[in-house]
Structure formats: structure tokens, C-alpha cells
Structure 1
Amino acid sequence: MVVEDTQKPTITDNQITTNLNTTNDHADLEEGEILDDADDSSVASKTHSAAVARNPLENSWTFWFDSPSAKAKQAAWGSSIRNIYTFSTIQEFWGVYNNINNPSKLALGADFYCFKHKIEPKWEDPICANGGKWTVSFFRLKLDTSWLYTLLAMIGEQFDHGDEICGAVVNVRKQQDKISIWTKNASNEAAQMSIGKQWKEFLDCNETISFIFHEDAKKLDRAAKATYTIYPV
């Protein structure tokens, strides 16, 4: 996978959407392209629009965010999660990604999600209800790269069972950070194992990763045991 080496602006978790108003103006620019304010050619504009239209994603995706301060005030679990931005082209993705903080810069306790459009990152969502999640724990040094590789694999439809994927979440925590991929049908063992194995390959991960049913997590919380496990080779 190719990763853009772009300097990110400094944004706190409470300001995660600060620069997104400008994203809409520049999301359609190709990588390395410079916006020429002096160029008012309608022909050039139409040509560029046509070029952009050739880079749609197979699915639209939505970023969601839950800050620790908002979670502390929430009346019910999940009520503080807020919709940040929906994108449907690779240009829009980079426009958003380059204007928000990397996970390692977010406050402890923050959760950042990227889910298929119209799927809410909650157990109660009908599409997520019968699913589960693969989880990998990271030390802060590898968090940002692993999160980016996860996003690129998802939106680029690199998984053989991509239709099973709902989205991914990164949890910023004190001891170890976590990234999870949520799926639709937890009982489909073949699909879940395929997703887990491919994810490990994309991340070049040598750690053990586990899959937990959402239903078990709801009932048992941290006592929930893994249903599927993939060990280091």
C-alpha cells in the first residue's frame, strides 16, 4: 500500500472538525495538484470534474468521533458519538484525512470510527446487531500507520469478504491502543477468519488477534471470550 507522507495540522480532539469546511473546496484536487486562483477557465473546470468522477469508491464511508469529555456527559451509551464527514471518492478521503489529527494525537479515551455510510457504529444498529469484531492492540508507535493501512484496505475493497465489513474503530487508551474491525454476521466463521487473516497480512502483524461476538460483549463486557482466534505463524 502507498502511504502519503503529508504533514498533519495540529488539531485537538475537540477541534477535530475545524478544518473540514475547507476540505470540500479542495477534496477534488488530485495528489500534488495546486489550486490556481487565477484560472477561471470553465473548460479546465469541467475537465477536472470529469477526471475526479473516475475515482469513486465502491461504497460511501462516514467518519464518526466520540471524545472522552462527551462520553463523560452522555445520558446513555453511544449518545455522544457524532457524525463527522461522509466521503465517496478517494480525493474526498485524502481531503478529510489530511485535515484531522492522527489517532496518536487524540486525547486518551477518544474513539474514532470509519463505517460504511448509513451504518451507525453501535451494537444496536440492525446491520451490526448480529456481528462481532476483530481487535488488535498496539503501542502508540505503530498506531497511526496501522490505522491508515486499515482504512485503505477497507475503502479500497481489499478484503475478499468486504461485504461483511461494517467499519473500523480506533480506541485511544492509556495502556494500549486498539483498532477493531466490525463485521455483520459473526456466525459466518469462514468469512470472519478470512477477514482476520487478511487484516493481519495488511498490517504485517505478528500478534495474536481475536474475534468477539457483539452479543457476548454486551452480556459479559470484558469477561467475554474470543470465539475465533488467529495466532502468529
Structure 2
Amino acid sequence: MFEESKPEEHHTVDDDNQPEEGEIVTGDVIDTSSSSSASVEKHPLEHSWTFWFDDPAAKSKRTAWGSSMRPIYTFSTVEDFWSLYNNIHKPGKLANGADFYCFKKEIEPKWEDPVCANGGKWTMTFPRSRSDNPWLFTLLAMIGEQFDHGDDICGAVVNVRSRGDKISLWTKNAANESSQMSIGKQWKEFLDSNENIGFIFHDDAQKLDRNAKNKYSA
């Protein structure tokens, strides 16, 4: 479905208008879910999704975590996704320390969000600048509702770090072990990964930080 619906050339931008390294896009927040075109038939997604970006240049140790995070774009069709995806930097082009999120609309990618509060996350690690394809495949599986327990998924994030990139899949009901295990196993299948991955409760991560232990593994 997604491969056949990729945008044509007129959806891309000129090189002169491409964002600089470390940025996502230029311009203000745009909600594409309200856009329409009489000449182009669009294929709606089951959910609307929002891209969020946490710019490392805006982060400060003196400010609360997440205060520099901002929504970038909201999309609700296959065509809008590809139009946006083709005009934003991939993880390999982002500056060290950047965090790029894709979450269901109205869910903020924060532990404090009511939908995320009782959840957790699966995490995979990748060598620096090797997360572009896994990130795309994660997005396609997520917004394409390929998971059997897709209703339990909040969104995904890619963390760009010098020691290696991380992609995490956030869920909303960490205590439901069968649901989390299904999501973790399917995610590995979609990415054709043999890596042993772990699931951490958000509550443990808040209390123990880096000392939080995996509750599930797949």
C-alpha cells in the first residue's frame, strides 16, 4: 500500500530549500490533516499522527526534560506521510543529541502524558547513521496498523547519539505482558532483526533512570 502511494516528483523540494543538518524542516508547524485536493485521491490512515522534534541546540541542563520538544507536522493520509517524509532529514542527517518522534495525534511523547503514563517502551540499538531504514520500516508498520495490538502503541522515537542510534516503540499498557510481547516480537519481524530487545516500564525509568531493568525481552 505504502510503496505504491509514494509521492511523485512534484512533492519534493529543491536542494536550495532543504533544511540544514541538525534541523528537521524549515517553517512553522503545519497540520496536513485538514488539507484537501480535488485532483488527488488520498488514502486515509486509521489514526492521525504527529512528528515531534527535540533539537539538541535548544536543550539545556537547566530546563525540564521535554521543554525543548515541539510538534512539527500532523498527517492523516498515506500521501501526506510520504510528502512529509521525503522533505525531512533522516536520522543519519540529524545532529548528535537530536530526538525525532512520531506519535498518534493528541498524545505527547512524554512520560507524563496520561496515555503514556502507565506504559513502557521496546528499544533497538543501531550503529551511528545506520538507523534510517529501521526508522522508516518502524513508521510504516506503525501507521499502517501492521501490529496485532496496534491500539496499544503510542508512537516511536529515534534518538541520535554519537555512540549509536536508538529506536524505541512506546506503548500505553506496560502491565499487559501478552500484548507487549506480541508487539516486541512483531517489531523484530518487521525489521528482520535478530537482536535481543528489552522492554522497560516508564515508571521504572522515571524512578531509576539508567538503572531501570528490562521487564520483558524478545
Whether the 8 Å CA contact 1:23–1:95 is kept in 2: the answer is: no
* Counterpart residue type for residue 101 of structure 1: H
1:105 equivalent to 2:93? Answer yes
1:142 positional shift: 3.0
SS of the counterpart of 1:11?
coil
- Partner of 1:181 in structure 2? 169
Q: Distance in 2 between matches of 1:175 and 1:107?
A: 13
Give the aligned CA root-mean-square deviation in angstroms: 2.5
Whether the 8 Å CA contact 2:98–2:160 is kept in 1: the answer is: yes
Q: Kindly provide the CA deviation profile for residues 4-52 of structure 1, in whole angstroms up to 9, marking residues without a partner as x.
A: 699985523554221688996xx87xxxxxxxxxxxxxxxx73x24x22
Whether the 8 Å CA contact 1:12–1:107 is kept in 2: the answer is: no
Out of 173, 183, 187, the position equivalent to 1:199 is 187
Structure 2 CA distance for partners of 1:2 and 1:80, relative to 1, 3 Å: same
1:74 positional shift: 5.9
Identical aligned residues as a percent = 63
* Counterpart residue type for residue 202 of structure 1: F
* Farther-moved stretch of structure 1 (84-93 vs 5-14): 5-14
- Partner of 1:156 in structure 2? 144
The TM-score, its normalising length taken from structure 1, stands at 0.82
Q: Distance in 1 between matches of 2:21 and 2:154?
A: 24
1:113 positional shift: 0.1
Whether the 8 Å CA contact 1:13–1:67 is kept in 2: the answer is: no
1:190 equivalent to 2:178? Answer yes
- Partner of 2:206 in structure 1? 218
Q: Distance in 1 between matches of 2:125 and 2:196?
A: 9
**Aligned pairs, how many?**
208
Q: Kindly provide the CA deviation profile for residues 26-83 of structure 1, in whole angstroms up to 9, marking residues without a partner as x.
A: x87xxxxxxxxxxxxxxxx73x24x22xx00000000000011111266211111001
1:149 positional shift: 0.1
Structure 2 CA distance for partners of 1:196 and 1:22, relative to 1, 3 Å: closer
- Partner of 2:19 in structure 1? 11
Q: Distance in 2 between matches of 1:69 and 1:18?
A: 15
The TM-score, its normalising length taken from structure 2, stands at 0.87
Q: Distance in 2 between matches of 1:221 and 1:73?
A: 16
* Counterpart residue type for residue 158 of structure 1: Q
Higher fraction of helix:
1
Which is greater in Rg?
Answer: 1
- Partner of 1:39 in structure 2? none
- Partner of 1:63 in structure 2? 51
Q: Distance in 2 between matches of 1:150 and 1:208?
A: 17
